[in-house]
Amino acid sequence: MAIGLKTPQDIERMRIAGKLAAEVLDYIAPFVKAGVTTGELDRLCHEYMVSVQGTIPAPLGYCPPGYRPYPKAICTSVNNQVCHGIPGEKVLKKGDVVNLDITTIKDGYHGDTSRMFCVGEPSIAAKRLCDVTLECMWLGILQVKPGAHLGDIGHVIQQHAEKNGFSVVREFCGHGIGTKFHEEPQVLHYGKPGTLTELKAGMIFTIEPMINAGRREIRELADGWTIVTKDHSLSAQWEHTVLVTETGFEVLTVSPGMPAMPASLDNRQAA
C-alpha cells in the first residue's frame, strides 16, 4: 500500500490534533496517584476531550478486523501490561507504573501520544525501565529525516534497549496516521539500518517502542485487548507522532507538560 504524503493543510491540522492529545496527558497527570482507579482516569479524560476540547476519543468503539469494539476512551496499561489495557476497577497503588495512551480526533485528523507515569516512588528497576524506554523513543525520533530508512529507527531502539538488558516487543509497532487512526507505514522498533521504506518529507507516523524488563514474549488477556508480558515482567512505552520535514523531523504531539528529550541525548541530534 502506498504511503501518502501530507499536504501543508494536512500538517497544520495534524499539529492541532497532536497538541490536543498531548494536552490531555498534561490535564490528567495530577490525577495519576495511589487510590485512583483506571476507570476514573478514563472518565476524566473522556469528559475533558469531549466537553473541554471538543475532540473525539479515537479508541472508543474502535474495531479493527478480528477484534471486538474497544470499550473505553483511553488505554491504561499498568506494570506488566504492555499495551491496550482497558480502564476499569483496577486501583493504582504506590510503586505502580502506568502508560496512558491518548488518541484524539479533531476535524477528522488524529493525534496519538502516550506517556509513562509513576505512582508515588517507583522502584529503581521500574524507574530505569521507564527512563531507558523514553531514551529509546527519542533515539528513534532523532533518526528521522528525508533519505533515512525505517530500519534506522528500529535499529537504534533495539540496540539501546538490549544494551541496557531489556527486550523489544515485536508484535506491535508504530504506524502512519492522519485522517485514519492507522495508516501505512508500519514502524518497527527493531531492525537493521538502511532497510525498509525510505523516509520522505510529508510522512507522518508514530514512534512508540514497547520495552520489557524481561523477555519480549507477550500474550493477550481474555478481554481481547489487553496485552501482557508472558513472564510477568514490567513493560514500558512512550509515544510521539512525528512529521518528516525537509531537513529532519517535527514532533507534533507537543504540550507545555510534555517531558523533554533526555539531556543525555542532546549531543546525538540527527545530522
| Domain residue extents for the chain | 8-268
Helix residue ranges, H only, the chain: 8-28, 38-47, 124-141, 150-163
3-state helix, strand, coil in the chain (%, to 5): 30, 25, 45
Q: CA 21, CA 49: separation in Å to the nearest integer?
A: 9
Closest CA to 244 of 253, 252, 233: 252
Per-residue pLDDT band at 47 (split at 50, 70, 90): very high
Count of CB atoms situated within 10 Å of the CB of 264: 10
Please give the torsion angle defined by the CA atoms of residues 207, 213, 216 and 222, in that order, rounded to the nearest 10 degrees: -90
Q: Is 95 helix (H, G, I), strand (E, B) or coil?
A: coil
Q: Output the nine-digit C-alpha cell for 150.
A: 525505517
More confident residue, 66 or 103: 103
| pTM for this predicted structure | 0.96
Averaged over 152-170, what is the pLDDT? Answer: 98
Share of the chain above pLDDT 70, in %: 98
168 Cβ neighbours under 8 A, 6+ residues apart: 157, 158, 161, 162, 189, 190, 209, 210, 211, 212, 216
**Residue 214 confidence (pLDDT):** 97
> What's the pLDDT tens digit per position in 79-114?
999 999 999 999 999 999 999 999 999 999 999 999
Count of CB atoms situated within 10 Å of the CB of 258: 17
Per-residue pLDDT band at 271 (split at 50, 70, 90): very low
Q: CA 118, CA 78: separation in Å to the nearest integer?
A: 10
> What's the pLDDT tens digit per position in 113-131?
999 999 999 999 999 999 9
pLDDT at 270 over 50: no
Q: Is the CATH number 3.60.20.30 carried by domain 8-268?
A: no
Closest CA to 139 of 269, 6, 4: 269
